[in-house]
Amino acid sequence: MLKTAVVGAQTLLGRELVRALEACEASVLPLHTGPLTTAEEEGDLVIFAPEPALLEGVDLVILADRPSSGTLLRGFPGRVLDLQEDADPRESGDPMPLAGDWPPTVLRFRGRAPLEQALALVPRLVEGVGEVCATHLRSIAMLGERGIQGLLEQTEAVLGGTDPDPTKLGYRAAFEVIPGVARGALVEVRVPVFHGDILLLHLRGIPGTPLSAKNPPPGVLWRDLPPSSRDVAVSAEALAHLQVDTEGARGVLTLGYDPILWGVLRPVLRLLGLGQG
């Protein structure tokens, strides 16, 4: 049985990881990022303060959040998977592979951004793609617990007739859609929904090769209509829809996924040999 410790088990991502791993009958040690308060010790989820001694006999440490002590992993001989969005590649190693299990000779990986994983699907979903431009409708789940709680507080403030406090999120999110500056052929738009990202991909085909849908890879389902953020928020699979013009020269691929369910949990379980993907 795989023995795993999840650091940051008190966060939204950490809690979901603990549930997913326990459902696969892995042995899971939920760890906080630092010392616990009395309220945290008496909470519903049993979480332990992170101590190096607790990692004895553990095969894998997953970092859902950064431990407050820089010495927690000092001398740890097992594998480490760093899922922090700002993971340092000098400490965390290469991004996890897009397919297959964890290679036995590698000790450290860092997570891949869900957007990167989604864009890598395009040539596996559509035949004849030449050029791609995209608009990414990004949900508040990108910020985890802080994002969801921040959006809730801002929404309550707006409904109460007061200006929302942007301190927690760094920007006003409630009832607003915020386009970002274009990054090449990609534009990110932050939308005020809790979960569910949508990618609108404008495709131009290779001359002489009409755009057409392929059989989807594991973890993706074709839909008859474009998925909504609500559809993908409750799905462990990415949901896709393709609309192509009569000549097959241009098309729109709508790809929806939940950043946590599909973008993190599914690839982690696949990497550990505990799930399909």
> Tokens 């940051």 appear where?
8
Residue numbers of the chain with a pLDDT score lower than 70: 38-45, 276-277
Read off the pLDDT of residues 109-118 as tens digits, 9 standing for 90 and up: 999 999 999 9
CA distances to 8, 199, 204, 252 from 269, rounded to whole Å, are 18, 24, 34, 31
pLDDT of residue 215: 97
pLDDT at 141: 85
Encoded tokens for 203:
């495709």
Question: What pLDDT shows up at residue 276?
Answer: 59
Cα 213 off chain centre by: 25
- Please report the pLDDT score of residue 44 as a whole number: 64
- Structural domains in the chain plus CATH codes: 3-111 (3.40.50), 117-259 (3.30.360.10)
224-258 pLDDT, tens digit each: 999 999 999 999 999 999 999 999 999 999 999 99
Give the span between the Cα atoms of 260 and 140, in whole angstroms: 11
- Report angle CA 50, 70, 101 to the nearest 5 degrees: 75
% helix, strand, coil for the chain, step of 5? 25, 25, 50
Please tell me the predicted confidence (pLDDT) of residue 85: 85
Residue 40, pLDDT score: 65
Q: So what's the pLDDT on residue 69?
A: 84
Cα distance between residue 189 and residue 198, in whole Å = 10
Are 222 and 160 in contact by the 8 Å Cβ rule? The answer is no
pLDDT of residue 115: 95
Cross-strand partners of 222: 240
Lay out the sheet containing 220-222: strands in order across. Answer: 178-179, 186-190, 129-138, 197-205, 250-257, 238-244, 220-222
pLDDT at 128: 96
Question: In the structure encoding, which two tokens stand for residue 116, read together?
Answer: 């990167």
